[in-house]
Structure 1
Amino acid sequence: MHRRSRGNRSKARRSMVRALADSITSYDALSLAEAIRTRALSSEQVITAYLDRIESFNGRVNALVTVDQERALRSAREADAELREGRIRGPLHGVPVTIKDALLTAGLRTTAGHPKYAELVPDADAWVVDKLKRAGVIVIGKTNCSTLCSDIQTRNEIFGVTNNPWSVGRTAGGSSGGEAAAVALGMSPLGIGSDTAGSIRIPSSYCGVFGLKTSIGKIPRDGHVPLHDETHARPDSLTVIGPIARSIRDLTLCYEVLTGESTTKGAPPAPPRIFWTQDFTTQVIDDEVTRALDETFSVLTRRGADVRKVAPPFPLEKLFSTYMRLYMFECAPEDISRALLPLFFVSEAIRSPFRGGARGSYERLKGKQSVLKRTMDEFLRACDCWVLPATPSTAFVHQKTGRGIQVTSRGRMKKHSYWEASMGLTYPFNLLGNPSVVIPLARGKEGMPIGVQVVGRLGEDRKLLSVAEHVARMIGADCSDHPARLGSLLERPPRTESTLQVTSIWNG
């Protein structure tokens, strides 16, 4: 009897510890920072909770590929000791973060998912990692990415496939899919990704979290693998660095830390002027995405937002040729030959300028890009933000790269181009340079998340974050609270229902 009682008490203690850990890992980064700063929680408690969460759930999704447990715990104890002495490093003191495995981390393996870098242990941090550490963060691990960040599914020869936490048979998106899956499942409160054609926004939409694609040139990308020479590492690169989080206020905090810019404080802005587009000339949109957008449009209108449906200033799908040509000028040869180029239909008109690396062709492309940017800037002057789908459909089943994706549009199911059906609405803003925030909007078929992207004027990231937070509050989606729900989902047998359900991700 005595042994049984002791066993029951031990089981109860373990349950209590697990409940505490689950509670901690449901906080956003700003809440954790405040709890640590006020010593309501210790950094060591927080780091331990996240490491336990990783141990419990990472095996199902394969989001983290390298976990820095010993150093993370040691850094947490140091952070707690500094607080006891009245010292604080910055606004994220003692808070855990994860970093996409394409950004250099001193003393911690960085592979970019490529066998060439399988054993690379950098001596120095990428610029963004160093900046975050100076603000007090503790890096707990690296997250999976597609090979050389060149696919919109996350998989590579070294670490394999990352699964979507809402349905492990589906993709988490890419190339920052590991980050989005980790944040969604509560294995990290905040992650850093990169985005060349949608690599932050697609995973954020597919996994139901918030993501920020910053304006071109806002955040230095020094230390992003592949390691291009200085000729390729241009400040106006199509590739940008940005955060993935469970709240817009975390995106804002991270943006402030990385740029030194202070976002708008005080009272929320007046009801924003919103341009809204969900119908395109040739870009396919799945019916469940359209339905979720229709419902959200109605909610915003009822709540006093000034929402106006508009056509894009030019057909977004027509920008692909210009985007691809500029991308190839930026690429190291291994990027093209390794993964990306064979997967696109590349016409002779696109290939020919690269025979001999014609400088004139590059200058003409940059000129065309500048004209497009000016046109977009004029279009956005009449609104506070432009809302459009983040992805044409929800996360699809794991499949071979380049194979067509099934999309049901206007009641008819049809296979559409792999790239059109995934990144058709994200790559234009890499070419145009505009900032974009992804907001989780609803859940569709089989409970899969649906997201929208809120686009702002080039360089006005601060204003966009403020407006996006206001929009998110109006639709009741300003902070994610679903890590615990996802944990219980992964602990029970997978769902088999296939009925269409578009419901708020925040209400069930």
Structure 2
Amino acid sequence: MRLLEMDALSLSKKISRREISSYHAVRTYIDHLNTINPILNCLVEDRFNEAIEEAKKADYTLTTGEAKGRLFGVPISVKECFHVKNMATTGGLSYRAGSREKEDAEVVKRLRTEGAILLGKTNTPALCFCQETDNKHYGRTNNPWDVTRTAGGSSGGEGALIASGGAAVGLGADIGGSIRFPSHFNGIVGFKSGNRQVSQEGNFPYIDKPEQERMLGIGAMSKSVQDARLINEIIAYEPPSARNLDDFKLVYPVPHHRYPINRETFQLIASIRDAFDGELAEEQANPPFFEEAAHMWQQMMSVDGGADMAKLMSDNEKASPFSEFMKEKLFRSSDVHSYLSWALIGTKLFKPNQKQMKQIHASLKRGDELLDDYLDDRILIMPVYHSPAPLHGELYQELFSIRKTFLNYMPYIAYANVWGLPSLTIPIGMSKEGLPIGVQLVSRVGHEEALFQLGEQIEQRIGGYQRCQKHDSKKEEVEAELV
């Protein structure tokens, strides 16, 4: 197997057995990133020199018998939103470019404690507040399968990088599909953790509204389900309980004209059903509170009218989302990307009033109680989005249109966020245009291991990760082979 195709767990084992050096692994990934990044713009700040020195040290430690850690010597990447000591956390905003963080985010600390070697940080939209990855400071990230298409967001840089084999494993965050959109569009595995299962200490912007904090999940963006499990074991507060997959019923979506799914996506999800051929109990239904999910997500993202984000948007105290949006649209003169300013205008317009907030809290209380029981023995099989990766700009138009088309396209994504549920995204096939299509597996907190077990079964029976090799150099094709 080629090094660039190897997942983190497999590479870690080879390094620990001294079948391959950490230096060779790190050097190979750096060379590969230097080839693909000018095309994809996925990595926005590197620490290559430090990574090479850390790899040399790791190899020496192996000779002394003192090596330890489940990711020992393994090259990784993380989303730009996570603090890394001595690196910038800009949120895609130029005025923050000179900042340097004093310590690692909690999740980064945990990964490095296990021996991981960080190659660098990956691109996001401004303040991670869009499902397309583009900002005024670093620019746009392209989908490796078709550079005219979106890599998704907000972990779009991570999605494009892992899809191309730019690191052994990566880390993302998700408050509105930010792990799952890029995983689906780029053809990788992605895991969104459940409500408050992973520390967000050192995540920027920090989420301090309880309605929003419950929606945030942090997890692996990877080449395999086993890596997603491993990363979750490392960064989660507590390990999930072990439940046998046979205890669960698989719930497939009911097609509905209000919530479109294109034919290829529908057929690939149906292929999961065919692959199990009745081995597991199943039913076809949309879960409780499914139809309300998209609207509730919008309200919960708007609880303060975007006031906190607007303060972070610019170092100009007089700047407002509306003024920055008009400056950009009329004169192309704003430092704030229009994706962010338009989104903040929306959060102000849709800020829930006091009565609506009471309704939200009542719905959350009722829904949490109902779903805790409903999902006790069920795993939801859901599409991530109604189609493969759209052209640049089209996803933004669908999700941020004044026609509220997000109500049609967001329920499958918003569901896991609103209800604080863990969700595992797995690639299950390709469209006729050669674009990846994924599926998400969703259940309640505590059932993560069942999701991983089902995900591994789907990998074995249907496919899983296939690295995009479109942008490899000829030199790499020779040098990346393991001998």
TM range (shorter): 0.7 to 0.9
Distance 2:383 2:260 in 1: 11
Q: Which amino acid aligns with 1:225?
A: F
The reply to whether residue 456 of structure 1 matches residue 443 of structure 2 is: yes
Match of residue 384, structure 2, among 364, 382, 390: 390
After superposition, what is the alpha-carbon deviation per residue over 1:63-103, rounded to whole angstroms, capped at 9, x for unaligned? 11111110000111111111111112311011111010111
SS at match of 1:241: strand
Contact 1:269–1:470 (Cα < 8 Å) also in 2: no
The reply to whether residue 288 of structure 1 matches residue 264 of structure 2 is: yes
1:258 is matched with 235
The structure, 1 or 2, with the larger RCO (C-alpha pairs under 8 Å, 6+ apart) is: 2
Match of residue 366, structure 2, among 363, 368, 371: 371
Match of residue 135, structure 1, among 114, 128, 134: 114
1:24 Cα shift? 1.2
Going from structure 1 to structure 2, the CA distance change for 1:87 and 1:143 (only over 3 Å counts) comes to same
The reply to whether residue 351 of structure 1 matches residue 328 of structure 2 is: no
1:285 Cα shift? 1.4
Q: Which amino acid aligns with 1:250?
A: D
1:256 Cα shift? 0.8
1:248 is matched with 225
SS at match of 1:155: coil
Contact 2:180–2:191 (Cα < 8 Å) also in 1: yes
Q: Which segment drifts farther, 132-141 or 456-465?
A: 456-465
Match of residue 453, structure 2, among 466, 474, 489: 466
Q: Which amino acid aligns with 1:440?
A: P
2:153 is matched with 174
SS at match of 1:427: helix
1:382-421 counterparts in 2 under 5 A?
382-383=377-378, 385-399=379-393, 402-404=396-398, 419-420=406-407
Match of residue 239, structure 1, among 211, 216, 220: 216
Going from structure 1 to structure 2, the CA distance change for 1:33 and 1:109 (only over 3 Å counts) comes to same
The reply to whether residue 323 of structure 1 matches residue 297 of structure 2 is: yes
The reply to whether residue 307 of structure 1 matches residue 301 of structure 2 is: no
After superposition, what is the alpha-carbon deviation per residue over 1:368-401, rounded to whole angstroms, capped at 9, x for unaligned? 2121122222322342x11010111110001267
SS at match of 2:412: coil
Structure with the greater alpha carbon radius of gyration: 1
Contact 1:343–1:401 (Cα < 8 Å) also in 2: no
Distance 2:396 2:212 in 1: 30
Going from structure 1 to structure 2, the CA distance change for 1:189 and 1:423 (only over 3 Å counts) comes to farther
Q: Which amino acid aligns with 2:380?
A: W
The reply to whether residue 434 of structure 1 matches residue 434 of structure 2 is: no
RMSD of the alignment, in Å? 3.0
1:44-123 counterparts in 2 under 5 A?
44-123=23-102
Percent identity reads: 28
Distance 2:187 2:143 in 1: 10
Contact 1:25–1:483 (Cα < 8 Å) also in 2: no
Q: Which segment drifts farther, 91-100 or 323-332?
A: 323-332
2:314 is matched with none
SS at match of 2:413: coil
1:272 Cα shift? 5.3
Q: Which amino acid aligns with 2:432?
A: K
Contact 1:232–1:332 (Cα < 8 Å) also in 2: no
Contact 2:259–2:409 (Cα < 8 Å) also in 1: no
Going from structure 1 to structure 2, the CA distance change for 1:91 and 1:330 (only over 3 Å counts) comes to farther
Contact 2:247–2:377 (Cα < 8 Å) also in 1: no
Distance 1:284 1:481 in 2: 27
SS at match of 2:2: helix
Please list every run of 5 or more consecutive structure 2 residues that lacks an aligned counterpart in the other structure.
311-320, 322-335, 477-483
Contact 1:27–1:189 (Cα < 8 Å) also in 2: yes
SS at match of 1:97: strand
Contact 2:91–2:125 (Cα < 8 Å) also in 1: yes
Q: Which amino acid aligns with 2:368?
A: K
2:325 is matched with none
1:154 is matched with 133
Q: Which amino acid aligns with 1:322?
A: M
Match of residue 430, structure 2, among 436, 443, 449: 443
Distance 2:63 2:466 in 1: 31
SS at match of 1:141: strand
Contact 1:439–1:453 (Cα < 8 Å) also in 2: yes
After superposition, what is the alpha-carbon deviation per residue over 1:440-490, rounded to whole angstroms, capped at 9, x for unaligned? 01101311111110001133323322232233333343xx2424466389x
Distance 1:380 1:72 in 2: 43
After superposition, what is the alpha-carbon deviation per residue over 1:44-64, rounded to whole angstroms, capped at 9, x for unaligned? 110000001101111111111
Q: Which amino acid aligns with 1:325?
A: Q
Going from structure 1 to structure 2, the CA distance change for 1:352 and 1:372 (only over 3 Å counts) comes to closer
Contact 1:392–1:424 (Cα < 8 Å) also in 2: no
Distance 1:450 1:401 in 2: 15
Match of residue 37, structure 1, among 1, 4, 16: 16
1:131 Cα shift? 1.0
1:243 Cα shift? 0.9
Contact 1:264–1:466 (Cα < 8 Å) also in 2: no
After superposition, what is the alpha-carbon deviation per residue over 1:281-300, rounded to whole angstroms, capped at 9, x for unaligned? 62121222122223332223
Contact 2:305–2:349 (Cα < 8 Å) also in 1: no
Q: TM-score scaled to structure 2, two decimals? A: 0.84
2:252 is matched with 276
2:375 is matched with 380
Q: Which segment drifts farther, 136-145 or 253-262?
A: 253-262
Q: Which segment drifts farther, 284-293 or 480-489?
A: 480-489
Q: Which amino acid aligns with 1:375?
A: L
1:10 is matched with none
* Count of residue pairs the alignment pairs up: 447
Distance 2:454 2:287 in 1: 20
Going from structure 1 to structure 2, the CA distance change for 1:123 and 1:182 (only over 3 Å counts) comes to same
Contact 1:97–1:188 (Cα < 8 Å) also in 2: yes
Q: Which amino acid aligns with 2:296?
A: T
Contact 1:26–1:483 (Cα < 8 Å) also in 2: no
1:270 Cα shift? 4.0
